[in-house]
A and B are shown apart, each in its own frame.
Chain A
Amino acid sequence: MTAMTMVEAIRDAHMIAMERDDRVVVFGEDVGFFGGVFRCTQGLQERFGDHRCFDAPINESAIVGAAIGMAAYGLRPCVEMQFADYMYPAYDQIVSEAARLRHRSAGDFSAPIVVRMPSGGGIFGGQTHSQSPEALFTHVAGLTTVVVSNPYDAKGLLIAAIEDEDPVVFLEPKRVYNGPFDGHHDRPVVPWSKHPLGEVPDGYYAIPLGEARVHRTGSDLTVLTYGTLVHVAETAANERDIDAEIIDLRTLVPLDVDTIVESVVKTGRCLVLHEATVTSGFGAELSATVQERCFYHLEAPIVRVAGWDTPYPHALEWSYFPGPERVGRAMQEVLAA
């Protein structure tokens, strides 16, 4: 075991995947020599050479398009979008190409690529360094969408994503790169070294895609969430002494329906949380799933707390971000109903 930040865990996952399989190649903007603007690929070029880890011109569509071509040849590309907000030029390649290649060629070709991207707010990034576009991927047949919340999961899931036979979109909420952000932006940052999920096993391990993790067991209500808000939910529950069961979904598609149903059947109450805009967000899918499968066990309406339907504002970041106050109030609302 080694104490790691999420950045270090992601780096370690790359190292191990590249070591085990020489078909794994890593590239993106500022990814090679510099090691990425968030340093997630630091040391890879030095260790594996610039044929395995390299800088790309600033063209996201070329990065993903080339990754698809390399995958078609037989490589296993794992590429970085510098920010999730900058994946849009690559969206056509992801949605129309990577996602459907296997289906349209009846299995003749496939696109086993990973597209990593830092997502989410909390760093005063304004509208183009704060987005959580997961629902733009979960809506697309053929994609696997992962959102990580901690170093332990990030390493195991990234290794699994690289080994997966199909395209995986891998979102890394940047606010938890260096610590489990509790949502209180005015308090000192707690480092991962002080958190059990910052303890990362050495060497190889993979966490299967499609499995949620029960972050905290409880009996009052079920909180379905992922990414940064896992920690915010935990803080809110602790602050209000609520016995919440918090489920970190980890993989959004394919969704771990069994873990969700088991929990909601037990608690009878459900709160859905995410940072992305609420309308047509992944929370809508979660609410519908719970309603379809647990209706007769529900004792209260399902409540969603999410980002407002506005671009992510720079100065009003903390009025936008669903922090412990809003989340805690919603928990009480669900309990009172």
Chain B
Amino acid sequence: MKKPALDEKVERVALMRKQLVRVLDDDGSAVGEWVPDLSADAKIAGLRDMMTVRSFDARMLRAHRQGKISFYMQALGEEAIACAQQRALRPGDMHFPTYRQQGLLIAAGYPIVQMMNQILSNEQDPLKGRQLPVLYSAKSHGFFSISGNLATQYPQAVGWAMASAMRGDTAIASAWIGEGASAENDFHAALVMASTYQAPVILNIVNNHWAISTPEDFARGASATFADRGYGFSIPAIRVDGNDYLAAYAASQWAAERARSNLGPTLIEWITLRRGAHSTSDDPSVYRPEHESEQFPLADPVERLRQHLVALGEWDDDRHRDLQHEIDTEIESAFAEADSHGSVKSGVVPSPATMFDDVYAELPRHLREQRDQVGE
């Protein structure tokens, strides 16, 4: 597939909203104009990021089965997108994620134990037990506080990007949304704002084909693709193989460079599949075709990058096994540490008085009185 110049006219990239950017072919070779300039070490780092997300998710699901945490959401099958985009952007940029972009934090080197403390809602939870598990916040790592309300982050990302532009900054914003939530008003509101003000923002739509029990076409309607959404706003929009780490990196980098060069917003529809349940509260067997995962044409992102590295002569089974072992050990010991700080289930949680902090910058009188009553 052709890779357009950064400032290519929007009409000339219009067809890309119907096509699919890929780099890795079925044999694991990197082909075409979108091949990113990445060293073998950078690719191995990408593999490690994705494997860490996967191992992290598996451990958290186990913790849920063990009754240690109240809730969890995994990113199984979608790891490449967030992991690659994090590495393609710069420190100082700001992501406005959904609950399925744990890859952004992991690829940014955010401490795993901190993530687990949040999930356990324990005494060390950076969010003081206030938020549902996985609704992280990490300004230090370019990660905006996640809301439980879908789509609200999308116009906020545009506003952050506009502010950066207004101040002559080079930082950009990246908005994230699931294909299902792109039906919300806020999604469309963000597009009109981004288009009008040509905000330096990446507008990601992760099309994992499911919104809880509802297939993607309910949100897509009669459009052929979600990338079509960009067209009416004259926002360049591309569709990308989200299970292809190299394509994810290249497309993110292209969109980021466009934003940083003052060429405005880019919309990216990522094609992937939610391989697992929506969350630990969900049972997909009721609504999901049985063999969907095996039949999905885009193969597993971890396996594809691994195959590519093997083909390059940079990787082999032993190294893979060692890496897996190293990651699993790291995750296991992080969990042991986090678990030692208590959990929502063991009742070792922040003190009730902390509930009244941060409602306002200063504790007002009525909350001071309520805080005193809680202690009684």
Interface presence of A177 (CB below 8 A): no
Establish whether residues A313 and B135, one from each chain, have CB atoms under 8 Å apart when the complex forms: no
Residue-wise, chain A 292-311 has the 8 Å CB interface mask toward B (1 for contact) of 00000000000000001111
Establish whether residues A313 and B355, one from each chain, have CB atoms under 8 Å apart when the complex forms: yes
A308 contact from B125, B133, B374, Cβ within 8 A: B374
When A29-B212, A308-B355 are in contact, do A314 and B70 touch as well, CB less than 8 Å?
yes
Establish whether residues A310 and B218, one from each chain, have CB atoms under 8 Å apart when the complex forms: no
Q: Which residue of the partner chain B has the closest CB to A305?
A: B373
Chain A residues, Cβ within 8 Å of B193 = none
* Residues in A116-156 with C-beta less than 8 Å from chain B: 124-129
CA distance A59 to B356 in the complex (A): 32
Establish whether residues A57 and B219, one from each chain, have CB atoms under 8 Å apart when the complex forms: yes
Establish whether residues A316 and B214, one from each chain, have CB atoms under 8 Å apart when the complex forms: no
How many chain A residues touch the partner (CB < 8 A)? 35
Establish whether residues B130 and A126, one from each chain, have CB atoms under 8 Å apart when the complex forms: yes
Q: Which residue of the partner chain B has the closest CB to A90?
A: B185
Chain B residues, Cβ within 8 Å of A60 = 184
B184 contact from A59, A124, A314, Cβ within 8 A: A59
Apart from A56-B218, A58-B181, A310-B359, list 16 A-B contacts with CB within 8 A.
A37-B281, A55-B214, A57-B218, A58-B183, A59-B183, A124-B344, A279-B366, A308-B367, A309-B359, A309-B367, A310-B367, A311-B359, A314-B133, A316-B350, A316-B354, A319-B355
Chain A residues, Cβ within 8 Å of B135 = 126
When A55-B218, A57-B221, A126-B148 are in contact, do A320 and B132 touch as well, CB less than 8 Å?
no
B356 contact from A58, A308, A315, Cβ within 8 A: A308
Q: Which residue of the partner chain A has the closest CB to B182?
A: A58
Residue-wise, chain B 106-150 has the 8 Å CB interface mask toward A (1 for contact) of 000000000000000110010011111101000000000001111
Interface presence of B180 (CB below 8 A): yes
- Residues of A whose CB lies within 8 Å of any CB of B are 29-30, 33-34, 37, 55-62, 85-86, 88-89, 124-129, 278-279, 308-311, 313-316, 319-320
A320 contact from B131, B151, B214, B355, Cβ within 8 A: B355
Chain A residues, Cβ within 8 Å of B355 = 308, 310, 313, 316, 319-320
Establish whether residues B150 and A127, one from each chain, have CB atoms under 8 Å apart when the complex forms: no
Chain B residues, Cβ within 8 Å of A34 = 212-214, 286-287
B71 contact from A29, A62, A124, Cβ within 8 A: A124
CA distance A314 to B366 in the complex (A): 22
CA distance A85 to B213 in the complex (A): 20
Chain A residues, Cβ within 8 Å of B350 = 315-316
Chain A residues, Cβ within 8 Å of B349 = 315-316
B156 to chain A, nearest CB (A): 15
When A124-B70, A279-B366 are in contact, do A316 and B287 touch as well, CB less than 8 Å?
no
Q: Which residue of the partner chain A has the closest CB to B212?
A: A30
Establish whether residues B359 and A88, one from each chain, have CB atoms under 8 Å apart when the complex forms: no
Provide 30 A-B residue pairs closer than 8 Å at the C-beta atoms, listed in order of the A residue: A33-B213, A34-B214, A55-B218, A56-B218, A57-B218, A57-B221, A58-B211, A58-B219, A61-B185, A85-B148, A85-B149, A86-B149, A124-B71, A128-B132, A128-B148, A128-B149, A129-B148, A308-B374, A309-B367, A310-B359, A310-B367, A314-B131, A315-B122, A315-B125, A315-B349, A316-B130, A316-B349, A316-B350, A316-B352, A319-B374
